[in-house]
């Protein structure tokens, strides 16, 4: 290597070369394993969804419902009560704005054939007419809410892909760190779940997982004024002038200026670290973290939950620094990525993904 007029030689022993190759292979195997796991999960999810659709088609046939009403009217009534309890149990999963949306209101002609089935049941068994109409309303609500949840989930997934993220990883990690007593829900006396209600539960779970993932995407500028003094990538090191990798963005600012959390998350480190000086690190879930370095003071503590925009510290010049600034990093599975696309594109992309369906449809038509 030639540096400052001198030539230096670096020798890599066979052992060092084997270790480097072994490390690279281990990384490739781990990466391939994660991709395979996500592919298997996606295939399994698609297969389960297809099975639910097939079962739903059989259950929804008018002939089967008329037969069920004829066999045991009391059981049908009991099942309808259980269905209502199921609906009420999933309502807390919904964002505050969902039930006010026109998308989940009962709409004539959008009940998936439930109205036709109710009419046939009423004609064949007049005394069951009220129950049949109640069932039709339940199914219309469930099917409409399922479509609504799927649309919201699709919007969230599209926003993630637009920002260069893989939503499969978020869905794969959605069930990690969960547990508790098993309390199964059912929609019938025999303990089973009507497949249409099962689809609703799956759609809501997918929507919630993806929308929680959106909250953890860096979307707020970590400083009040965007004065970038050094970008992401290879640069001349400010201390010795050699080529070096810069794993984040540097924002120049006065000592004591506030530093903001770029997204909602949990503080996982507060302290000093070599090169970084005073550092705060926040986990946003799904392998995504942000780092805020060279602070003059901390305003966060380990384990603290923060929202996007919360003040977590102040600009300083601690650690390996030539002057007061914030060194900001975004990491995915501990791999540094360029923060700039997130900070510049995420606010617009996420605003569009969160917009009310009516507003989005109007914008699409425009």
- Give the model's pLDDT for residue 48: 55
Band (169; pLDDT cuts 50, 70, 90): confident
Report how far apart, in Å, the C-alpha atoms of 280 and of each of 221, 314, 321, 331, 343 are: 16, 11, 16, 13, 18
Whether 102 and 127 have beta carbons less than 8 Å apart is answered as: no
pLDDT the model gives residue 103 = 46
Boundaries of CATH 2.70.70.10 in the chain?
Answer: 228-354
Q: What is residue 83's DSSP assignment?
A: H
Region of poorest pLDDT, from 128-132, 197-201, 271-275, 321-325: 128-132
The pLDDT tens digits for 274-312 are 999 999 999 998 788 999 999 999 999 999 999 999 999
Please state the φ and ψ torsions of residue 302, each to the nearest 5 degrees. -55, 135
What was the pLDDT predicted at 165?
82
pLDDT for the residue numbered 108: 42
User: How much is the pTM?
Assistant: 0.63
> What's the pLDDT at 236?
79
Token pair listed for 85: 């309890």
- Provide the pLDDT for residue 25: 61
Q: Find out whether 155 and 364 touch, Cβ atoms under 8 Å.
A: no
Give the list of residues 6+ apart from residue 123 with CB closer than 8 angstroms, or none. Answer: none
Q: Residue 230 in 3-state DSSP? A: strand
The token pair that represents 246 in the structure block: 């810069």
Tokens of 209: 């997982």
Using alpha carbons, list the distances in angstroms from residue 35 to 127, 166, 168, 246.
56, 10, 9, 28
CB 339 within 8 A of CB 248: yes
Alpha-carbon distance of 50 to 259, in angstroms, equals 48
130: which 2 tokens?
A: 């009220």
228-354 topology per CATH = Glucose Permease (Domain IIA) (2.70.70)
């Amino acid at each position: 290597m030639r540096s400052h007029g001198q030539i230096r030689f670096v020798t890599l022993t066979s052992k060092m070369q084997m270790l480097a190759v072994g490390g690279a292979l281990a990384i490739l195997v781990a990466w391939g394993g994660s991709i395979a796991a996500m592919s298997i999960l996606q295939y399994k999810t698609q297969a389960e969804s297809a099975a639910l659709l097939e079962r739903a088609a059989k259950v929804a046939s008018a002939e089967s419902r008329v037969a069920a009403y004829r066999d045991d009217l009391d059981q049908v009534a009991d099942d309808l009560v259980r269905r209502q309890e199921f609906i009420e149990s999933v309502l807390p999963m919904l964002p505050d704005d969902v039930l006010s949306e026109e998308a989940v209101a009962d709409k004539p002609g959008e009940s998936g054939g439930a109205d036709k089935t109710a009419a046939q049941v009423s004609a064949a068994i007049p005394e069951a007419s009220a129950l049949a109409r109640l069932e039709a309303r339940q199914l219309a609500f469930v099917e409409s809410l399922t479509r609504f949840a799927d649309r919201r989930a699709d919007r969230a997934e599209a926003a993630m892909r637009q920002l260069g993220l893989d939503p499969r990883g978020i869905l794969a990690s959605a069930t990690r760190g969960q547990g508790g007593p098993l309390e199964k829900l059912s929609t019938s006396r025999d303990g089973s779940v009507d497949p249409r209600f099962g689809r609703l539960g799956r759609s809501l779970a997918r929507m919630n997982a993806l929308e929680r993932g959106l909250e953890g995407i860096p979307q707020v500028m970590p400083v009040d004024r965007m004065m970038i003094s050094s970008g992401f990538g290879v640069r001349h090191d400010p201390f010795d002038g050699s080529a070096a990798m810069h794993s984040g963005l540097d924002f120049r600012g006065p000592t004591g200026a506030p530093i903001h959390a770029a997204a909602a998350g949990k503080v996982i480190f507060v302290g000093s670290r070599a090169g970084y000086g005073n550092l705060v690190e926040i986990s946003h879930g799904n392998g995504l973290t942000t780092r805020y370095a060279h602070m003059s003071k901390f305003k966060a503590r380990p384990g603290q939950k923060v929202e996007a925009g919360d003040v977590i510290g102040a600009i300083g010049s601690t650690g390996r620094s030539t002057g007061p600034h914030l060194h900001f990093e975004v990491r995915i599975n501990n791999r540094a990525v360029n923060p700039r696309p997130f900070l510049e594109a995420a606010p617009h992309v996420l605003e569009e993904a969160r917009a009310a369906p009516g507003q989005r449809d109007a914008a699409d038509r425009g």
